[in-house]
Amino acid sequence: MNKILECVPNFSEGRDKEKLERIVDEVRKQEGIKLLDYSMDKDHNRSVVTFVGEPDQVIETAFNACKKAAELIDLRTHKGEHPRMGATDVIPLIPIKNISMQECVEYSKKLAKRIGEELNIPVILYEKSASRPEREDLAVIRKGEFEGMFEKLKQEEFKPDFGPDKPHESAGVTAVGARMPLIAFNVNLNTNNLDIAKKIAKAVRGKSGGFKYCKALGFELKERNIVQVSMNMVDYTKTPLYRVFQLIENEANRYGVNVIGSEIVGLVPMNALVDTADYFLKLEDFSYDRVLENRIYGD
Amino acid sequence: MNKILECVPNFSEGRDKEKLERIVDEVRKQEGIKLLDYSMDKDHNRSVVTFVGEPDQVIETAFNACKKAAELIDLRTHKGEHPRMGATDVIPLIPIKNISMQECVEYSKKLAKRIGEELNIPVILYEKSASRPEREDLAVIRKGEFEGMFEKLKQEEFKPDFGPDKPHESAGVTAVGARMPLIAFNVNLNTNNLDIAKKIAKAVRGKSGGFKYCKALGFELKERNIVQVSMNMVDYTKTPLYRVFQLIENEANRYGVNVIGSEIVGLVPMNALVDTADYFLKLEDFSYDRVLENRIYGD
């Protein structure tokens, strides 16, 4: 493989295994595409599928999966805890290897155009692909959900980038955009005081003055009788894991509390961990091409 | 690729670029083999070549390179600082992916047999492939060097495993064996007191009671006016980098000295760094298959 693009579409079906399998089959059948992971969430009534490959094939595969989802999923009867606005709710494209963010943006527009024109589903570009700054944030775009989209798309601010000006009657609206890999990173504290987790979350997250590319919330883990700072690291190259981790350790100490562990949910890019080792070992002049596997799989 | 075997032959030629290129060409021309690195050392008059591939092709390539080295290098006129006993001095085989150490040992014997029988060069198996415990250590086998081998091989203890019972007149003796990946890891201290580096080296190395799979020496870095604990980590899965690093920090503090940096010379397996990140981030239930690249390149 030369260029590697990752695609992580979210589908509004988390209960009917057979339907999801038919969507995932669109990924499996595509030559040159590697299905990395997929999982269903019953409460959210939503599924996440992860695959990688050469960009053109990734776009083709994402289009086919989106087409299949539009055939199988009807938002008019869909219920679940997670906010959603489309059968294929969102399609993020992520640069993995030998591909720039700008190229990912170009590919996202190609994909959005096909979905809009061939499937008659309105598409709003988001994140790095957004056509206006207020459309970078998916939560802002999705507010009002499927049911509210019929009114919302009439506003100039939310006019779709591609496809018709009103939602598809059963498949709704899809967001497509390029973004950095996201790392779901949680840090556990040896206390059951939720207030402390919330204060630390506030200290580390960009929104309230902390690290720009870190989103954080405090949670209780009731079965373990502890609390957790739960984070989405949205650009580990600029807000690295180790820096956030050490800040949490410091802030926890301020309350007489210790970090007892952390967890990574889902997949993590190798370099996020290599950067962490580099930092703690105080490596001088280290570069990624010193990692044996990068030589083996490099071009 | 399914199974990946690494091979790092050392050739007794570090000055004649053209000769080395002809040896390296044997690696380049082999389909399915990836040349990762090669470097010459003039003072040592020695070169190290690193390549990977499917085991059968790796053995074929190592044999061809060894044959070419026997044609081009004459130990009778070779001088250099590094001890040596053969034109191809040593051929380590290292398990990288989907291959056990036991399989590597089998492959090393196949290679040793071909070199002995087809090239008439005596081969002594070493490290994990050794046919008796006192032949595990390459330094013990090589003691006396090329010039001393004519007498040494007469001893029952050093009878070659394959090939003739006396050295090849110009190509000497070759050691072949399976071993774990080796990581050259150095830690720098903010002092020019060599004694401290030597004391710390003694504390960490297995030979004097420290970590079993760590070899260490204290050195001066004159141009920086500091000292260094220079190590070979010979099994990072059992003696991990982070544990040795933290011991060095502790021992340095005992002398009022700090670690100011570290360096990895050559290549490092991804997992040695992933293990380090796992340790410092206190990850719970982490496994290598959570690394995105392992999913992408996995089987």
SS (H, E, C) B159-220: CCCECCCCCECCCECEEEEECCCCEEEEEEECCCCHHHHHHHHHHHEHHHCCECCEEEEEEE
Closest to A18 measured CA to CA, from A81, A73, A66: A73
- For A114, the 3-state DSSP assignment is helix
A112 contacts A127 by C-beta, under 8 angstroms? no
Structurally, how many domains does chain B consist of? 2
Work out how many CB contacts closer than 8 A connect A with B. 132
Q: Are strands A174-178 and A88-97 parallel, antiparallel or unpaired?
A: parallel
The domain of A114 spans 4-178
pLDDT tens-digit series, residues A217-250 = 999 999 999 999 999 999 999 999 999 999 999 9
State whether B114 and B210 are in the same domain: no
State whether A169 and A21 are in the same domain: yes
Q: What is the mean pLDDT of residues B175-182?
A: 97
pLDDT tens-digit series, residues B219-229 = 999 999 999 99
B291: which chain A residues are within 8 Å (Cβ-Cβ)?
267-270, 273
Query: What was the pLDDT predicted at A298?
Result: 74
State whether B136 and B196 are in the same domain: no
State whether B153 and B23 are in the same domain: yes
- Which residue of chain A has the CA closest to B272? A277
**End-of-domain residue from the set A178, A205, A233:** A178
Closest to B29 measured CA to CA, from B2, B73, B64: B64
Q: What is the DSSP string of A254-288?
A: HTT--EEEEEEES-B-HHHHHHHHHHHTTBSS--G
Closest Cα in chain A, distance from residue B189 (Å): 12
CA distance A121 to A98: 31
Q: CB distance B286–A277 less than 8 Å? A: no
pLDDT at B299 over 70: no
State whether B46 and B142 are in the same domain: yes
State whether B174 and B54 are in the same domain: yes
Residue B274: which of A34, A36, A273 has the nearest Cβ?
A: A273
CA distance A277 to B277: 5
> DSSP character for A290?
G
Known catalytic residues of A are: 82
Residue with tokens 């599924």: A47
Closest to B11 measured CA to CA, from B21, B3, A154, A221: B21
Q: Which of residues 140-169 of A touch B (CB under 8 A)?
A: none
CA distance A27 to A17: 16
State whether A82 and A137 are in the same domain: yes
Q: Is residue A299 part of a domain?
A: no
A162 contacts A129 by C-beta, under 8 angstroms? no
State whether B89 and B27 are in the same domain: yes
pLDDT tens-digit series, residues A251-297 = 999 999 999 999 999 899 999 999 999 999 999 999 999 999 989 88
Task: Confirm whether B82 is a catalytic residue.
Answer: yes
Q: Are strands B226-233 and B183-189 parallel, antiparallel or unpaired?
A: antiparallel
Query: What was the pLDDT predicted at B1?
Result: 53
Q: Is residue B220 part of a domain?
A: yes
Closest Cα in chain A, distance from residue B118 (Å): 30
State whether A130 and A34 are in the same domain: yes
Pick from A233, A280, A292 the residue to mutate for testing the B interface (most B CBs within 10 Å). A292
Query: What was the pLDDT predicted at A20?
Result: 97
A280: which chain B residues are within 8 Å (Cβ-Cβ)?
242, 245, 276-277, 280
CA distance B246 to B232: 16
Q: What is the mean pLDDT of residues B85-96?
A: 97
pLDDT tens-digit series, residues A43-83 = 989 999 999 999 999 999 999 999 999 999 999 999 998 89
Q: Is residue B202 part of a domain?
A: yes
State whether A132 and A218 are in the same domain: no
Q: CB distance A277–B282 less than 8 Å? A: no
Q: Domain with B194 in it: what CATH number? A: 3.30.70.670
Task: Extract the tokens encoding A72.
Answer: 């199988």
Q: What is the mean pLDDT of residues A10-25?
A: 97
Q: List C-alpha distances in Å: B148 to B125, B173, B258, B293.
A: 18, 11, 44, 48
pLDDT tens-digit series, residues B282-295 = 999 999 999 999 89
What is the ipTM for the molecules in this complex? 0.87
**End-of-domain residue from the set B119, B152, B178:** B178
* Edge-to-edge strand list for the sheet holding A259-265: A214-221, A226-233, A183-189, A259-265
Q: Domain with A64 in it: what CATH number? A: 3.30.990.10
CA distance A130 to A108: 10
Q: What is the DSSP string of A191-249?
A: ---HHHHHHHHHHHBGGGTSBTTEEEEEEEEGGGTEEEEEEEES-TTTS-HHHHHHHHH
State whether A120 and A227 are in the same domain: no
Q: Is residue A151 part of a domain?
A: yes
pLDDT at B195 over 70: yes
Q: Is residue A73 part of a domain?
A: yes
Pick from B6, B273, B274, B283 the residue to mutate for testing the A interface (most A CBs within 10 Å). B273
Q: Which of residues 80-119 of B touch A (CB under 8 A)?
A: 96
Q: Which of residues 233-292 of A touch B (CB under 8 A)?
A: 241-242, 245, 259-264, 266-270, 273-274, 276-278, 280-286, 290-292
**End-of-domain residue from the set B125, B158, B178:** B178
State whether B105 and B168 are in the same domain: yes
Question: Could you count the other beta carbons within 10 Å of the beta carbon of residue A158?
Answer: 20
Q: Is residue B172 part of a domain?
A: yes
Q: Is residue A159 part of a domain?
A: yes
Query: What was the pLDDT predicted at A203?
Result: 97
Query: Which ranges of A73-190 would DSSP assign to H, the alpha helix?
Result: 101-119, 138-142, 145-152
pLDDT at B52 over 80: yes
pLDDT at B249 over 80: yes
